[in-house]
Amino acid sequence: MSTTSEPLKRVIVTGGAGYIGSHVIYILQETRRYKVISIDNLHNAHPKSLDRVAQLARDALPKDATKQEKESAEIDAHTCDLTRPDEIRRVFEQYGKGGIWGVVHIAAYKAVGESTERPLLYYANNVGATVSLLQVMSEFDCTRMVYSSSATVYGTPPIIPIPESTRLQADSPYGKTKVMSEAVLEDLCAAEPNKWRALSLRYFNPAGAHASGLIGEDPRGRPGNLLPLLAHMAIGRVKDDKLCVFGNDYPTPDGTCVRDYLHVVDLAKGHLLALNALTDNSEVFDSCPTPARFKAYNLGKGKGLSVLQIVEAMRKATGFDYKYEIIGRRRGDVPDLTADPALAEKELGFHADQDLETMCRDLWNWQSKNPNGYDTEIPPAQPLATTPQVYEPKTHPIPPVTAVPATVITTA
């Protein structure tokens, strides 16, 4: 499929150098319809991630790529702190009023534990920065946002799988920053319904990496999430002789906590579908109860997997003989966080197709090629494709959700 002759749409991706941001940029660039502008303060990211994503996009260009296609493969990268309105404004000024089509706002702090110790830091960085960003967007007539939210907004949910209509009752300051940011967006869309439109994407547990092994999750310090922790154990960066599993007496099939893991590339595709749904002819807001064009969608597979299932899948992918010990429950852990993704499937055409085996294989491919994360030098990638990718929304019959086994590590 060839690219359209329409000019590129400029889209800002905040947190573009991070784990999810880099995969979102990859998906946007793959369409050759967007000009990506990344904003990141590199608090939890390596600038090399952006070089690697751009390399993927360049390698996929056909030999006879047009000037516009070549431009779509380059990222405008701004080192900018979103808690500093002056810095945000300086970025927008470069593109002028109306110069940015929309924003995918991914940047945030995400460590649940840290948020309980440093709540003000989290409210300033996750809520304050979102308000500043929206203010500057308004000044520059940029009024479309896709927002990175999280399943933590549900706290301990009363119904599994979790529909979007579930009351929002986050337990941690981190989770509350997501609830608050959603409220800010919804209020803004209600105040100026003809101007603003926003979609909040509530991620469940993203995992894996791009299949090339060029980009992936490169946490600073000890990984806070289960899968990267297992990858670091297998590569020898975490030298614990065993994994501590917090509790095996939860009401789940094997007693350990259950989470809904989805491949990070599938998650990234959800952002493209959400951006498509912010266009003028979109119908996703037709069912909103008020004129406010705001909606939230769960992005998950709708299939829960237990800690022990994850350990077993990583053993198969890495060949590493994980030892684990069941210790007592950890305060704040929720037994089961499995999404009901039916709304996103129906309205956005979202579907997280890739299975656990693929997530673990891709994670291990990334980790083994990059034992030191982005500080590892690796040879240039082989060209991947010659045609731009178009993700058509898919409509699938919704499979019955079987409650399968649960989490150990507190996830964002």
Ligand X SMILES: NC(=O)c1ccc[n+]([C@@H]2O[C@H](COP(=O)([O-])OP(=O)(O)OC[C@H]3O[C@@H](n4cnc5c(N)ncnc54)[C@H](O)[C@@H]3O)[C@@H](O)[C@H]2O)c1
Nearest to 208 by CA among 97, 352, 366, 332: 366
Q: In three state form, how does the secondary structure of the chain look?
A: CCCCCCCCEEEEEECCCCHHHHHHHHHHHHHCCEEEEEEECCCCCCCHHHHHHHHHHHHCCCCCCCHHHHHHCCCEEEECCCCCHHHHHHHHHHHCCCCCCEEEECCCCCCHHHHHHCHHHHHHHHHHHHHHHHHHHHHCCCCEEEEEEEHHHHCCCCCCCECCCCCCCCCCHHHHHHHHHHHHHHHHHHHCCCCCEEEEEEECEEECCCCCCCCCCCCCCCCCCHHHHHHHHHHCCCCCCCEEEECCCCCCCCCCCEECEEEHHHHHHHHHHHHHCCCCCCCCCCCCCCCCCEEEEEECCCCCEEHHHHHHHHHHHHCCCCCEEEECCCCCCCCEECECCHHHHHHHCCCCCCCHHHHHHHHHHHHHHCCCHHHCCCCCCCCCCCCCCCCCCCCCCCCCCCCCCCCCCCCC
When binding is defined by CB under 6 A, the residue of 3, 10, 42, 121 that contacts ligand X is 42
Quick check: 17 binds ligand X (CB under 6 A)?
yes
Quick check: 15 binds ligand X (CB under 6 A)?
yes
The span from the CA of 151 to the CA of 406, in Å, is: 14
Least distance to ligand X from the beta carbon of 171, Å? 14
Quick check: 91 binds ligand X (CB under 6 A)?
no
Least distance to ligand X from the beta carbon of 262, Å? 10
Least distance to ligand X from the beta carbon of 31, Å? 20
When binding is defined by CB under 6 A, the residue of 19, 26, 140, 196 that contacts ligand X is 19
Query: In terms of CB distance, is 65 or 339 closer to ligand X?
Result: 339
Quick check: 125 binds ligand X (CB under 6 A)?
yes
Quick check: 20 binds ligand X (CB under 6 A)?
yes
Tokens 């946007």 correspond to what residue? 28
When binding is defined by CB under 6 A, the residue of 8, 9, 13, 21 that contacts ligand X is 21
Give, as ranges, the residues between 230 and 269 that touch ligand X (CB under 6 A): none
Quick check: 208 binds ligand X (CB under 6 A)?
no
Contact 206, 225 (CB under 8 A): no
When binding is defined by CB under 6 A, the residue of 2, 43, 47, 74 that contacts ligand X is 43
Least distance to ligand X from the beta carbon of 108, Å? 3
Quick check: 206 binds ligand X (CB under 6 A)?
yes
Quick check: 81 binds ligand X (CB under 6 A)?
yes
Query: In terms of CB distance, is 148 or 365 closer to ligand X?
Result: 148
The span from the CA of 189 to the CA of 5, in Å, is: 31
Least distance to ligand X from the beta carbon of 178, Å? 7
Quick check: 83 binds ligand X (CB under 6 A)?
yes
Least distance to ligand X from the beta carbon of 383, Å? 27
Query: In terms of CB distance, is 17 or 284 closer to ligand X?
Result: 17
Give, as ranges, the residues between 138 and 167 that touch ligand X (CB under 6 A): 148, 150
Count of residues that bind ligand X according to CB under 6 A: 31
Query: In terms of CB distance, is 13 or 234 closer to ligand X?
Result: 13
Query: In terms of CB distance, is 45 or 314 closer to ligand X?
Result: 45
Residues with active-site annotation: 174
Q: Which residue is nearest to ligand X (CB)?
A: 18
Quick check: 368 binds ligand X (CB under 6 A)?
no
End-to-end CA separation in angstroms for the chain: 37
Query: In terms of CB distance, is 11 or 45 closer to ligand X?
Result: 45
Residue length, the chain?
Answer: 412
Over the window 104 to 123, marking each residue x when it contacts ligand X by CB under 6 A and - when it does not, the resulting string is: --xxxxx-------------
Binding site for ligand X (CB under 6 A): 15, 17-21, 39-45, 81-83, 106-110, 125, 129, 148, 150, 203, 205-206, 225, 411-412
